[in-house]
Structure 1
Amino acid sequence: MEFLAGGRAEVRITHADVGKRVSVRRLTGARAGEPAFTDAVGILTSWNDGVLSITRRSGESVRVEESSLVAAKVVPAAPARRKVPAATVRELQRVAARGWPAIETERLGEWTLRAAIQEAVVGRRVGFTRRANSVLPLGDPGVPLDEALARATRWYADRGLPTLVTVATGRADADERLAAELAARGWSDEAHTSVRIAALAPLADTEADISGVRLSRQPDTDWLTLYNRAGTPTAEARAVLTGGPSVWFARVPAPDGGTAAIGRLVVDGRWAGFAAVETAPGQRRRGLATLVMAALAERALQEGASAAYLQVETDNAGALALYDGLGFVEHHGYHYRRGPAGGAAGS
């Protein structure tokens, strides 16, 4: 890794380079009397209070003390690929889970129990979205299925939540078997969802002016007002929405001073995940959703991503038509299985 400029190492990045792909070398100690260095390459996600956060392609976040920097530079992104990416179901499941993280998790073998509880109304606790309040089974739970389900049911009952299991469909035999086993035990199905993927570069190819799309690291009040799941913003909702390796929020101001459209992006290595793309009722059929997608795609390309994914419920005909037109194709599906014990309603 070459950092030398004019024969000497230099730190050639500033706070203005947050969001760019960088290469850094830091002093980590001494070996046999000689300095020991460690290199890291990834997206400079933040630089606060003397600490840099760098997100690698794997999604791993590396913290680097500013005082330990020996050399650093911005690394040009590789040319974006224009073909639909290849991916496994498990890869996308893990990426999507990191991009919409629960507040509380617990491992059960290769299963992850996830919860993000918020107070919806006085005396009633609910989960902020099913994705952040369901079991993610990525293999063997390490115990017989009935015991695993019993443990999961107790875990969610302790939190006043129903037990939901996310089950992938359409690709893996193991997931199809799990769906059949849950159905045989009386676990009902709901919220069937399509996971769609696309090459990222074509999404940014537009002749439309995206300069009016405002990007920020945090959702402001106007953004949250249009987002139809949030209701009154809570700390728990914000924690889920802002969680992920490199998160951006897009907002298109309306002519009347309100908000015309919004969207959310999370960049995780080669993947750019799109979510919460909403258009205000009075602003529809103006191409604003496509504009938001283009602005976010451009941001993701700048951070080195090359592939796009999103999740959309199969009964959302309008969204499916939009994403079909943008070149997204179905990779696999998933749905939730709800435990027969019932419990508090999820979201």
Structure 2
Amino acid sequence: MSDLSARDIGHRVVVRHRLPGGQSTDVIGVLQGYDAGWLVVRHSDSTLHRVRLQDVSAAKRIPPMPLRPVDVEQLFLTTALGRPAVETSYVGQWLLRASDGWTGRANSLLPAGDPEMPVSEALKLAEAFYTDRGLQPLALVRLESPAAQELGQLGWVDARPEQADVQVMHTTLELVNASPDYEVTVSDKPDAAWYEAAFEGAPPAVAPAVMEGAPKAAFASVELDGRVVAVGRGSMTGHWLGVDAVRVDPEYRRRGLATAILQELARWSGQLGGRRSYLEVVEDNKPAMTTYTNLGYAMAYRYRYLTNQPTS
């Protein structure tokens, strides 16, 4: 007997039901459908379980799955693997990245782990790496981390004082992988229409190498009125889904298109073993922050860029 109704759609539930052989089993997930004599429960791996109401022996709403504490150090490295730079090198365990100057993430030092030498010496090698490539030395540092404090003590300063902090947010796929309200196409390789929607104007020449460089990536898009109006990129690193490059045409914003992109990427990831998701957002981007918070994303950490060569 079910204590559920259509009002419980979107909430986490547990349903005990009889299998064809007569034995009982439980399914736990988010209630996605309740009509025509059937329950539909969406599991954390995006699988849909259809259960006949007449087979239900017990069903009730349960509390949402709490977000497990995140290993910040591990996530810090995971974000780099989800969108690898064109050129990489190491100073001990510190990662140097260069991609012809396009995006801070792809052209900055990631001071994670042990540089296996004094920090001052490691920074000299990093400076030489970027100077040789005609790039401003940058380091992407987690706020209040030991690395941020050490670099500050050695004279590295905020490279972009006019910009807000970047939040890295995380959630579990069970909160995101609902069926989208729009038809979302997912491909393993972006086409010209995807790039046209992802950028204002022509994309930088190095963009395809950066965007398509991950071992396992997906490119989502929504087409309305005969053209692509919303896009996003997903990448898999272990059980983590990284989401980036989410952009909606200004004429089509506030219609839930960004939500649909994230939901379909989460469904893609769940079928590949994805369990958790992260994304990055500048804190003063209030519409994006609202969208992501409503989908269950919460802050893991903040970061900024430091440099030893501040611009005037």
* TM-score (norm. length: structure 1): 0.67
8 Å contact from structure 1 (residues 167, 179) kept in 2: no
**What is the letter of the counterpart of residue 203 of structure 1?**
V
* Alignment partners' CA distance in 1, 2:200 and 2:297: 24
Identity of aligned residues (%): 34
- Contact 2:45 2:271 (C-alpha < 8 Å) held by counterparts: no
Correspondent of 1:177 among 149, 152, 177: 149
Matched residue, 1:104:
87
Task: Say whether residues 1:158 and 2:141 are aligned partners.
Answer: no
Aligned residues: 250
Structure-1 separation of matches of 2:233 and 2:194: 10
Task: Give the deviation of 1:294 after TM superposition.
Answer: 0.9
- Alignment match, 2:169: 196
Cα 1:233–1:160 shift into 2, 3 Å? closer
Which position in structure 1 is the counterpart of 2:219?
249
Let me know the Cα RMSD of the aligned residues.
Answer: 2.3
1:138 to 112, 119, 122: 112
User: Whose strand proportion is higher, 1 or 2?
Assistant: 1
| Residues 205 and 294 in structure 1, CA contact (< 8 A), matched pair in contact too | yes
Q: Distance in 1 between matches of 2:95 and 2:243?
A: 23
CA apart distance, 1:233: 4.8
Q: What do the CA deviations read for 1:39-73 (whole angstroms, capped 9, x no partner)?
A: xxxxxxxxxxxxxxxxxxxxxxxxxxxxxxxxxxx
Q: 1:341 to 1:334 in 2, by over 3 A?
A: closer
Correspondence for 1:5? none
Provide the rounded CA distance (Å) in 1 between the counterparts of 2:275 and 2:156. 41
CA distance 1:79–1:215, change in 2 (3 Å): closer
Equivalences for 1:329-344 in 2 at 5 Å? 329-340=298-309
Equivalent residue for 1:264, pick from 233, 257, 282: 233
Letter in 2 for 1:198: T
1:90 match: 73
Q: Distance in 1 between matches of 2:200 and 2:88?
A: 22
| Structure 1 CA distance for aligned equivalents of residues 156 and 311 of structure 2 | 11
Show structure 1 runs of 5+ residues with no match.
1-76, 118-126
Please list every run of 5 or more consecutive structure 2 residues that lacks an aligned counterpart in the other structure: 1-42, 47-63
Q: TM-score, normalised by structure 2?
A: 0.74
Mapping for residues 1-347 of structure 1, pairs under 5 Å: 82-117=65-100, 127-170=101-144, 172=145, 174-182=146-154, 185-190=155-160, 191=163, 192-206=165-179, 208-210=180-182, 212-228=183-199, 231-234=202-205, 236-255=206-225, 257-340=226-309
Cα distance in 2, alignment partners of residues 332 and 209 from structure 1: 31
Distance 1:199 1:78, change over 3 A: closer
User: Offset at 1:272?
Assistant: 0.6
Q: Give the whole-Å Cα distance in 1 for the aligned partners of 2:292 and 2:45.
A: 24
Contact 1:83 / 1:198 at 8 angstroms: preserved in 2?
no
Shift of 1:306: 0.7
Mapped to 2, the partners of 1:78 and 1:180 lie a distance apart of: 42
Q: Which amino acid aligns with 2:153?
A: E
Secondary structure of the residue that 2:306 maps to in structure 1? strand
Supply the distance in 2 between the matched residues of 1:243 and 1:287 (Cα, whole angstroms): 28
